[in-house]
Amino acid sequence: MALRRFLSFRDFDWWLLLLLLGMCSVSLIEVHSTTVHTRFARFPEMQMIAMGGGIALMFIFARIDYHRVLDWAPWAYGTGLLALGAVLSPLGHKALGGRRWIKLGPMLIQPSEYVKLVLILMVARYFANLGGRYLSWKDILKALALVGIPMELVLKQPDLGTTLTYAPILVAGLFLGGINLRQAAILMTCAAVLVGGVWSSGKFLKSYQKARLTSFTNPSADPKGSGYQVLQSEIAVGSGGIWGKGSERGTQTQGYFLPIPYTDFIFAAFSEEHGFVGAIFVLLLYFLILMRLIQNAQTAADLPGSLIIMGIVAVLTFQIAVNVGMVIGLMPVTGIPLPLMSYGGSSVLFTFLALGVAMNVRMRRFVN
């Protein structure tokens, strides 16, 4: 029996797991360094528990046929919408200026993180059912509604960062689903007009969100206000030099100049303490993880499997690019965490759940 269970994982991507464990180790080291002298000293322990649970869930989901998971996706989508609605109700837990969590005993659950995986599955199911045929405008509008409804619910929390992470799922689905250049150009034009309307209306974005989105272009204009985070992050990254100042020795991090260094700005804190070499090492780990996932997508047994993995790749790539760009002043501050590195149980569990489904696609690539 034990041998049979082991053989069932013979196609498990052990190299990918090794890369993930390396990323988790980096995360635990930096979360410890940024919280050891604060009231959040238990965060590394909590992060380790979340990672352990995430890895266990990854192995469980790797055993569940992803076709069956796709069959469950509509029910999960409906449940996800109800959970997002509950967050906006009195059941939602408010903290840090937003109502984004549901409190279950001692735990805070962030439904918007799990909805990412649900959307990946729903978009994959939707475009796979179209059978690769030419996309009509009706097909495209249905896909827009599928992703747009949860985006609007999350934006009302307000959580601009997580809202933006839903967009790459739709883009990847449309691209792999067969959208043509003319349709893509029209959609991009409409999106630009919509963004302009949302920006000027003042109905959807709060003033502080607008300030964050524009401050990165000239943070010195408001160094103690909207530009503070960007300036302190740039100072931290630059002061790390080639080799860094050493763990627990970063002046910007340990001096509490760098805001929330264990979540949104953990890459800046790591760069200060481990320098350019450490930053390149982290980026290389991410590159290898993404390339491994893309390779698994190419060898998937069918279109739904490829769509699932590429949806995961799209979300992870977007989060990495925006977070790293944010800490070096090339992207606006949006509050998007760095996957597998930033502190946060919901984010960690989502990532491992998604990777569990990706592992299942790989393990069934030779199954007809």
Helix/strand/coil for 98? strand
Residue 94 pairs in a beta bridge with 99
Specify the pLDDT at position 8.
64
Whether 318 maps to a domain, the answer reads yes
Whether 161 maps to a domain, the answer reads yes
Whether 5 maps to a domain, the answer reads no
Average pLDDT, the chain: 87
Burial class (CB in 10 A: 0-12, 13-18, 19+), 284: exposed
Whether 299 maps to a domain, the answer reads yes
Specify the pLDDT at position 213.
66
Helix (H) or strand (E) holding 117: helix 111-129
Q: Which domain holds residue 260?
A: 18-34+42-363
Specify the pLDDT at position 5.
52
Tell me how far apart the alpha carbons of residues 13 and 10 are, in angstroms, rounded to a whole number: 8
Specify the pLDDT at position 222.
74
Flag the least confident range among 6-10, 102-106, 297-301.
6-10
Q: What share of the chain is helix, strand, coil (3-state, %, to 5)?
A: 70, 5, 25
Nearest to 267 by CA among 328, 331, 329: 328
Whether 7 maps to a domain, the answer reads no
For the entire predicted model, the pTM comes to 0.91
Tell me how far apart the alpha carbons of residues 265 and 245 are, in angstroms, rounded to a whole number: 17
Whether 368 maps to a domain, the answer reads no
pLDDT digits (tens, 9 = 90+) for 18-64: 999 999 999 999 999 999 888 888 999 999 999 999 999 999 999 89
118 Cβ contact list (under 8 Å, min separation 6): 73, 76, 77, 80
Nearest to 343 by CA among 18, 101, 33: 33
Flag the least confident range among 215-219, 235-239, 313-317, 362-366.
215-219
Q: Which two tokens stand for residue 257?
A: 């100049």
Whether 156 maps to a domain, the answer reads yes
Whether 3 maps to a domain, the answer reads no
Total domains in the chain come to 1
